[in-house]
Amino acid sequence: MIIDVSNLVKRYNDFLAIDHMSLQIKDGEIFGLLGPNGAGKTTLTKTLLGLCKYDSGSIKLFGSELIESEKKIKERIGLVPQDIAIYDELTAIENVQLFGKLYGLSGSQLKAGVKEALEFTGLYKLKDKSPSQFSGGMKRRLNIACAIVHKPDLLIMDEPTVGIDPQSRNYILESVNKLNKQGCTIIYISHYMEEVAAICSQIAIVDKGRIIAQGTKEELAKLIEGDQVLLITVQSVDFSTIEKLEKVPMVKDITLNHNQIRIISSDSVINQVMNLLISNDVQINKIVTNSPSLEDVFLTLTGRALREESN
């Protein structure tokens, strides 16, 4: 067991950011932590690495508590922080070199690690450029390179692909897979269902400081097996109509996003829904039925969308 968290509680003053969380992560896994904004994902990583105190519970990394052998444990971990943390005044390669040194590398080991990390993130050609000339995605990649230079046994990636174009994102996901194949255990934190579904061997869904479901992609999908998803695009709709829809039997969850109503139900409810909408003079433009995705699992479990859709 690389990580063993039990009954962890972390408060910010009165606010309960982590609520009696227990979590085990096995060697060799790509462990996905999925949760909406403010779920407590970053707070969890901070407590894991000793960046902030926790109130109760216990954390074991590589079988021991952080305080017991902090230096040794930290040498085996790499963190890709959610906020980009690189030096703008240093070139890409100088950044990676510096962090390599700080992780305890030197000599040929350092040289090789730096080269590999830069190649891994596709930055080798840009190694002598300053990050201030980088695009957001390139900075993200450098942010990753600085965390893998010492070939950690455990890599924690806190939303590494935010603001990255799809191509770079795929590149990063492939890299994560490659790292994992080389024996690195990875905690992958994200809002993006597709990413997590694509690479993670275990997924935990976090909400309000708690893990509300955990398992493989398939296991999670089973949680709502037999459910149906109905997507209805309408001209316009008012809240009283939505409220009425919620009262339809077997409807589990309803969300309204712009003019699209999404209904998750345990059985087909098309007839009832149609009747209700028509009798309320709602103009229907389009109807689609789907089998549920991970996103829908999330919706039914938490009652809210993973990301607040912008615009």
Ligand X SMILES: Nc1ncnc2c1ncn2[C@@H]1O[C@H](COP(=O)(O)OP(=O)(O)OP(=O)(O)O)[C@@H](O)[C@H]1O
75 binds other proteins (CB under 8 A): yes
79 binds, among ligand X, other proteins, Mg ion, none (CB under 5 to 8 A by kind): other proteins
Please, how many CA atoms are within 13 Å of residue 56, restricted to the half-sphere of its CB?
4
Interface pick for other proteins out of 12, 28, 52, 308 (rule CB under 8 A) = 52
Residue 35 or 113: which CB sits closer to ligand X?
Answer: 35
Do the beta carbons of residue 103 and residue 77 sit within 8 Å? Answer: no
Closest approach of other proteins to the CB of residue 101, in Å: 5
Stretch that binds ligand X, among 31-39, 140-148, 168-176, 285-293 (CB under 6 A): 31-39
Handedness of CA 36, 37, 42, 43 (dihedral sign): negative
List, in order, residues 6 or more apart from 215 with CB less than 8 Å away. Answer: 202, 203
Size of the site for ligand X (CB under 6 A): 12
Nearer to Mg ion, 41 or 139 (CB): 41
Structure tokens belonging to residue 71: 């230096």
- Number of residues forming the site for other proteins (CB under 8 A): 32
Q: Of these partners, other proteins, Mg ion, ligand X, none, which one is at the site of residue 77 (CB under 5 to 8 Å by kind)?
A: other proteins
Instruction: Quote the least distance from Cβ 152 to other proteins, whole Å.
Output: 11
Among 51, 68, 275, 288, interactor with other proteins by CB under 8 A:
51
Tell me the torsion sign for CA atoms 159, 118, 104, 76. positive
User: Segment contacting other proteins (CB under 8 A): 18-26, 74-82, 268-276, 291-299?
Assistant: 74-82
Using CB under 8 A, which of the segments 81-89, 220-228, 240-248, 293-301 binds other proteins? Answer: 81-89
Q: Which of 253, 182, 209 is nearest to 37 (CA)?
A: 209
Residue 128 interacting with other proteins (CB under 8 A): no
- What would the x/- binding string for ligand X be over residues 38 to 77, using CB under 6 A? xxxxxx----------------------------------
Minimal distance in Å, beta carbon 122 to ligand X? 25
By CB under 6 A, is residue 17 in contact with ligand X?
yes
Residues forming the site for other proteins (CB under 8 A): 46, 49-53, 66-67, 70-72, 74-75, 77, 79, 81-87, 89-90, 94, 98-99, 101-104, 146
**Site residues, ligand X (CB under 6 A):** 12, 15, 17, 35, 37-43, 82
